[in-house]
Amino acid sequence: MCQLNDKHPMNQDNLGMHADHSQHLSHDMDHMATNQMPMDHMDMHGDMGDMDMGGGHMMHMGNLKRKFWVSLILTIPIVLLSPMMGMRLPFQLTFPGSDWVVALIGTLLFFYGGAPFFSGAKAEIAQKKPAMMTLITMGVGVAYIYSLYAVIANDLFQVTPVVTDFFWELATLIDIMLLGHWIEMNTVMNAGSAVDSLGKLLPQTAHVLGAGGQVTDLNLADLQVGQVVAVRAGEQVPADAQILTGHSDINESLVTGESRAVAKTVGDTVIGGSVNGTGTFTAKVTGTGDSGYLAQVMDLIQNAKQSKSKSENLANRVAGYLFYAALFVGILAFIIWVTLTSLPVALPVAVAVFVIACPHALGLAVPLVVARSTALAAQNGLLIRNRDAMEQVNHLKFALMDKTGTLTQGHFTVNHLVSLDQQHDDQAILQLMANLESGSSHPLATGILTAAKAAGVTVTAAEDPHQVTGMGQFGTIAGTEYGLVAVNYLDQHHLAYDHDQFAAYASEGNSISFLVANQQVLGLVAQGDQIKPAAKQLVTALKRQGITPVMLTGDNQETAEKVAHAVGITDVQARLLPEDKERLVQHYQAKGKVLFIGDGVNDAPSLARADIGMAIGSGTDVALESADIILVASDPADVIQFLDLARATNRKMTQNLWWGAGYNLIAIPLAAGVLAPIGFILDPMVGAVVMSLSTIIVAINVMTLRVKRPA
């Protein structure tokens, strides 16, 4: 292509700023509108209607809700007939055989309500990784077996003293755990409802223009690429398209999180699902299918919930430690108490240790936060592809970023066009450049094509167009091979050019490309770009957070330094090839954690190499494959928004882990009887109450997570 900058030298089929990148943005919106995805088809991906109950066991939302209510109904007679903590309350009843009735109902409740926990525990044990579900199963399992023993011992053998059963605790424990998971699923669904609304607001039909100009309302599922649609004032754009006639202001806030309307005119692309303003326009559909923006959001949420981040793995490890600790302490306490006292005294103590160790809130601590933050991020134009990246934020030392499209607008205009060959005047040079760039929609190419159109130049595509990575665009015109290259190419091939002229144009902040043929420099074009308003804000905020900003660009040194100086960056690396950037990422990683901000195409190796890879702009396959985070609106301010959200998410995770597991550190020893010499032993029901309170606190704490958009 015409300039070696941080975007240009790539295969043009994969350009990050590709004009038809938006075809990736409408596919899933159409798909979801067709399938009534948001509410009617919520189980389609299993991410909103299903819940991971541990060990990969998934439970459907309707099943869990039904299990809770059935279990609650079964609990009522148990509460009325069974003693609480060995004491019968005034409203409780007793009659001959009531213990057996309680045992029968308790058995039904145990196997019905406890089924999801048993399945999860089975999977965890099969993987030799006992965690949350194993702990829960141990707690309710021990309570059930001990209670059966109590009924048999009391009613068949009439032992003295009477053995206290734990059916009351068993029933309420199962109810609390089922309720907690139901709360979790409701929280996840509520957090995702803003994302679902994108699909709900899609129109069901599109106004398709026929060959004779007639308008036909076509079902969105039948819309095809290449068809022309009419979009009237106030309507939703049915699919990604390119405007052919008319103009309007488009509200893309539902898609990008950007609240202001965006002016669109002929040649601009519009995103399916965005809301048209007061204008009307016709547009050619550029994309339909199932790979659009909303699908990416839904898939990202699904993947985020199914994959295990480091914090979740830590939570599972903590649960595993608690399992072994409870097992060890419970057995040890049993041995000590049975040695010092008797079996009837030792068994309740061991049961207490096992029952209160159930880490229900611990199981909710991280999934709730992640689901909430992922949905909030998607709602605000931040697609989190790799959740582990959020955990790296607190350790970031460097923020490496490219220039064009990241710090600058990426909208180039031709400031200087100079013929350096007597056989070609300026217009002929412009025409040759435009012919080479006719198949590209890169910002630099767009600037040349716009200038050619304004000058009335006829553009004909060059034959055999191809790129040389890091060098430029080449093609054959009238039997002669031409190249539109960067200054690196001239230096490497020892081609003569006016260094003073180059320096003068570059000092103005221009990106400069040279037209070459037959080892001769025929002309040059100098194009200027505008710095994004939020670029300086980004750099300032990074410095304030102790993160060193670094510019890595393929553009010339003079232009890079001018932009860097304007935004406040002092560390500038220019004239870089893609492999140079990746090498520099590794260089900075030796000093600390690295965030790399690029377009996800030419910067793909660096995005993949960095501790956090952040793609500016969305819709390209390379971006989705390489980046951890995708900024849909391409706004530098969203980088700070992501950092703030990530830190808030990490804080919530830490808080919830403490709420979910911290009480076990105290409750287990108390239940084992460490304070027995002073007359205090923690009862299982007290432990269950504390556990339920921690669960509620965790759920409430998650809902306080918010996204603060920068001013």
- Whole-angstrom distance, CA of residue 41 vs CA of residue 295: 13
- Whole-angstrom distance, CA of residue 411 vs CA of residue 451: 12
Query: Which string of DSSP letters, residue by residue, matches 483-541?
Result: EEE-HHHHHHTT----HHHHHHHHHTTEEEEEEEETTEEEEEEEEE--B-TTHHHHHHH
**Residue 203: what are its φ and ψ, rounded to 5°?**
-70, 150
The runs of H, that is alpha helices, within 202-268 are: 253-256
Using alpha carbons only, give the angle 251, 254, 260 rounded to the nearest 5 degrees.
Answer: 35
The runs of H, that is alpha helices, within 357-459 are: 360-379, 426-437, 443-454
Classify 688 in phi/psi space as left (phi over 0), alpha (psi -120 to 50) or beta: alpha
CB neighbourhood size of 265 (10 A):
12
**Residue 236: what are its φ and ψ, rounded to 5°?**
-85, 140
| Amino acid in the structure at residue 540 | T
- What SS3 class is residue 31? helix
Bridge partner residues of 476 (DSSP)? 463, 481
Q: What is the DSSP letter of 393?
A: G
Structure tokens at 593: 């954690």
Q: What is the DSSP letter of 89?
A: -
Catalytic residue among 299, 402, 555, 638: 402
Structure tokens at 625: 């494959």
Long-range residue pairs from 534-537, CB within 8 A, at least 24 positions apart, any chain: 534/635, 534/636, 534/637, 534/710, 535/406, 535/407, 535/408, 535/566, 535/567, 535/636, 536/566, 536/567, 536/568, 537/636, 537/637, 537/640, 537/710
Task: Select from 70, 90, 93, 95 the least CA-distant residue to 80.
Answer: 93
Reduce the secondary structure of 278-325 to three states and give it as a string: CCCEEEEEEECCCCCHHHHHHHHHHHHHHCCCHHHHHHHHHHHHHHHH
Q: Is 43 a catalytic residue?
A: no
* Residues classed as catalytic: 402
